[in-house]
Structure 1
Amino acid sequence: MRPSLPGAAIALLLALALHPASAEDAPACAEGVALAPGLCLSTEATLDSIANLRGGVRSGVAAIGQVWSDLDADFERLAGLEGWRGRASVIAIYGRQATATLTGGLAPASNIEALSTIRLFEFWLERSLGAWGSLRVGQLAADMEFATLDGARTLVSGTFGWPVALASTLPAGGPAYPLATPGIRLTLGEPDTHHGLRLGLYSGNPGGRYGADTDPQRHNRYGTTFSFSGGAFMIAEGVVGAAPPEADAPRPWVVKLGAWYHNASFDSQRYDTTGLPLADPASSGVPRRYGNNHGAYAAAEAVLWRAETQSLALFARGFAQPQDRNAVAWQVDGGMVWRGPLGRANDTAVLGISRAQVGASARGYDRDLGAFGSPTPTRRYETMIELNYDAAVIEDRLYLRPLVQVLVNPAARQPDERRSATEPLPNATLVGLRVVAKF
């Protein structure tokens, strides 16, 4: 029997961990441990415990854990291939997802929520182009590089990473955690530290070919589907900004402008193929199909004040996309991050607010349901507010992150059919604790 790719990858990681290279042969790694000259293994374990005090689907507690391991290879050291490097990422997830079982919201309460499994995530090779940039090919995730905000990285809710606007629009949520997909990424210039451009081309549906009622995470449970179905997803992002004053310090300012395009078909939110409202009993029930989808976004962050061990920064993003084929027409989020609060240089306090707005067509469909005798709340918007404090218990090793979240209009006022078809989900208030250990 042939072993699965995730199993083979895990066996390789264990073998290397049990038989590491000697200290003389293995140079230090930026993160993790050196297994051989040019071969580094880094692992991060995260445990989230989240309690819904009131509102949402139900009150209760959910806990979920994740172990994420990256095996980074410098092929110049390993094999003399100048300018080449690679990475294999394996993720193990186990536990109860707070969003599905407690809040019912569009915005995930935790950004590590996913189906319990062990999966291959990213698996790629990269060729440095020197001062020109780099080219990366393999199984990739767009949310690792595109539309990111450094100031929001300690926020726990998933919408501050890959936003609801894209996750609710793209097939299987798009090429983002927990589903990477075959793709190519070209970087020109230095977008991470100065000015540059990122271009990405990804397979259109990371879940592969699956039925309408099938969970794409279950269909691609181990990350080895390597789907080339569902057309293509393209994204481009231009970045301008100042270089960081020192290593690991936030950039003084940065602005990102991006756009995306998907060439697959997308359903109308309101009308059928004959032009009748989908809610009309006389409708064919088959939504009108649009031949593509697209959108644009902007992101910015700036340090307002900086001292020897502290800084205060603001961040913001905005996304817009056609309302006729997308339930969420636009989304904005932003917040404030205080690094080094209370005299603790390695701690971070952050406040984030996100609002996802339902488009006119989706709202019109809800009103049509009422007009044709099936009343339901009209969707409007969903707002996620999060405040957390990331405390370094052991610098670069162990962190505790207590948090509070308020979810306004969960699922943009959609009802919970198990309780009532006409009453929207009530606002939810959550408290939680994240524990992060790095190895």
Structure 2
Amino acid sequence: MARSPAPTFRRTAFLFAMAGCLAGEHGARAASTPLVTDILPSGVPLPVPAPSFVRPPEDASTELLGNAWGARDWLDRKGVRINIQDVEELWGLLSGGMHPGPTYDGMTAMALTLDTGRAFGLRDGLLNISALQIRGRSLTGERLGSLNAVSGYDAGRSTRLFELWYGQGFFGNRLDIRAGTIDLDTEFLVSQNASFFLNASFGWPLSTSSNLYSGGPSWPFSAMGVRVKWTPTYPLVLMGAVTDDNPTRGPFYSDISPAQRDPSGTFFSTAGGTLFIAEVQLWLDAAERIAGKDAPALPGTWKIGALYDSGRFPDQRYDSQGGLLASPDSTGTPLYHRGNWLAYAVLDQMIWRAEKGSGKTINVFARATVNDGTRNRFSSEVQAGLTFDELLPGRPDDTIGVAWGTGFYERRAIENAYDATRLGTSLAGPLRPEHHVELTYQAAVTPYLILQPDFQYFWNIGGTSRNPDTGRPIANGIVMGLNMTTTF
């Protein structure tokens, strides 16, 4: 989910990305070095959509410690880069949900990269290692009860290794291969504009986080695997990865959270099934195609992709003996099926620019997923939204965004809910798609400090009409939050 350290970086990234576009006819280069904020799951300002990204030079002013008394320059000459980011969040459930009230969560991340070319002469090689310290409590689990977490940082408390991989570029970095423990949602199934929002569903969506073991290799988990990225010609990027499908080695259903099963992030599991994912990206300048080369550029990235998991997945209605899971006489163990799949499409498109070269823009994103209707609780999902850059007078580095998302239950999960109501084994009532709307404003206080006040509204919380424990109706939820992200 490529990301940048501060809103100021968005315009700089655009200029360098466009430079890459112009150079594309003479040999586009796929970026092999992750951006500083690749380690953050949500609430991050992003470069303008483009599959090829030319990395801007280091700017010490975008980090609180600056040049760290010369240490950064010294390390850079050795090929070493160290980045630290801290996120602090305050959330409050104002009404609705289960238990209105406040919570706090936070995360500190450290990433180290070693450029093997500078270090010992192996060109186009990169070693990457990162770690996370996650703290606080979950507003989603303890107060709201929604399917979609209010924040990407609303995760199990732990101090853990995140990613550990080696990447090697070939043919002028047109071909880029990584091997090690990989977080797929850094690059696959991601919308650049959607990642600006704080709700976790705008990063790694509900249709993967709920339908895969431990949510799949997604923040804060990674899995053993290999990723290949190839740019055969500038407008086109082809990516694929093969990883273990179960980063924490747990069963599909468990009372123990994934973070508790692997609190250190060092299981390096190769058990279970294998996850295959592939994606095609196409860069387009909509303005050039519609109004000619003299029109202000309106870049966009269009993506289609699919994944297949060879593991075993539970039926949503029938138990291991072919009876109803909702029946009082059920074995309680679902019938398991071999294999699972998901297909998706992602659109990131700039739709308006004040004038040629201007940073005043409006961008739209949309993402849709569809998957197997037998072994998944959610059969499809949709998110869409708008971001508005530099539109506030006197605030050239700020961004405003509004987005909506929902996930649709698959047929057998709906029938199981009806079975439970009919047989008296649940008070939750019929399943309904949970919807959420987010309105957010990101303010660049300094180049290294971002404040992001956030408003979210949920209805059909938890996808049910009533609290499954009390049988009482669940009121729509109103959530307010504040995210503070500091880059050191």
Q: TM-score range by the shorter chain?
A: 0.7 to 0.9
Identity %: 28
The answer to whether the 8 Å contact 1:194/1:243 transfers is no
Partner of 1:437: 486
**Cα distance in 1 for residues equivalent to 2:162 and 2:194:** 22
Give matches, 1:94-105, under 5 Å: 94-105=135-146
Partner of 1:254: 301
**Cα distance in 1 for residues equivalent to 2:142 and 2:374:** 30
Note the C-alpha offset of 1:244. Answer: 12
Give matches, 1:34-45, under 5 Å: 34=73, 35-37=75-77, 38-45=79-86
Gap change, CA 1:185 and 1:58, over 3 Å in 2? same
Among candidates 346, 350, 353, match of residue 299 of structure 1: 346
Give matches, 1:236-255, under 5 Å: 236-242=278-284, 252-255=299-302
Partner of 2:412: 361
Gap change, CA 1:30 and 1:218, over 3 Å in 2? farther
Partner of 2:337: 290
Give matches, 1:267-278, under 5 Å: 267-278=314-325
Gap change, CA 1:304 and 1:133, over 3 Å in 2? same
Gap change, CA 1:215 and 1:250, over 3 Å in 2? farther
Larger relative contact order (Cα-Cα within 8 Å, sequence gap ≥ 6): 2
Gap change, CA 1:250 and 1:262, over 3 Å in 2? farther
The answer to whether the 8 Å contact 2:279/2:304 transfers is yes
Instruction: Report how many aligned residue pairs link the two structures.
Output: 406
The answer to whether the 8 Å contact 2:156/2:257 transfers is no
Gaps of 5+ in 1: 1-27
The answer to whether the 8 Å contact 1:209/1:229 transfers is no
**Cα distance in 2 for residues equivalent to 1:301 and 1:101:** 34
- Is 1:116 the counterpart of 2:166? The answer is no
Among candidates 69, 82, 87, match of residue 123 of structure 2: 82
Give matches, 1:353-392, under 5 Å: 353-376=404-427, 377-392=429-444
The answer to whether the 8 Å contact 2:81/2:113 transfers is yes
Partner of 2:222: 180
Q: TM-score, normalised by structure 1?
A: 0.88
The answer to whether the 8 Å contact 1:98/1:110 transfers is no
Partner of 2:246: 205
Note the C-alpha offset of 1:368. Answer: 0.6
**Cα distance in 2 for residues equivalent to 1:386 and 1:164:** 16
Gaps of 5+ in 2: 1-56, 64-71, 288-295
Partner of 1:22: none
Partner of 2:262: 220
Note the C-alpha offset of 1:202. Answer: 1.0
The answer to whether the 8 Å contact 1:321/1:329 transfers is yes
Q: State the secondary structure of the residue aligned to 2:118.
A: helix
The answer to whether the 8 Å contact 1:152/1:350 transfers is no
Give the counterpart letter for 2:81 in structure 1.
C
Gap change, CA 1:93 and 1:285, over 3 Å in 2? closer
- Is 1:145 the counterpart of 2:197? The answer is no
Q: State the secondary structure of the residue aligned to 2:311.
A: coil
The answer to whether the 8 Å contact 1:349/1:388 transfers is yes
**Cα distance in 1 for residues equivalent to 2:329 and 2:154:** 40
Give per-residue Cα distances to partners, 1:104-139, cap 9 Å, x unaligned: 111111111222221110111000023532000011
Q: CA-atom RMSD, angstroms?
A: 2.3
Partner of 1:425: 474
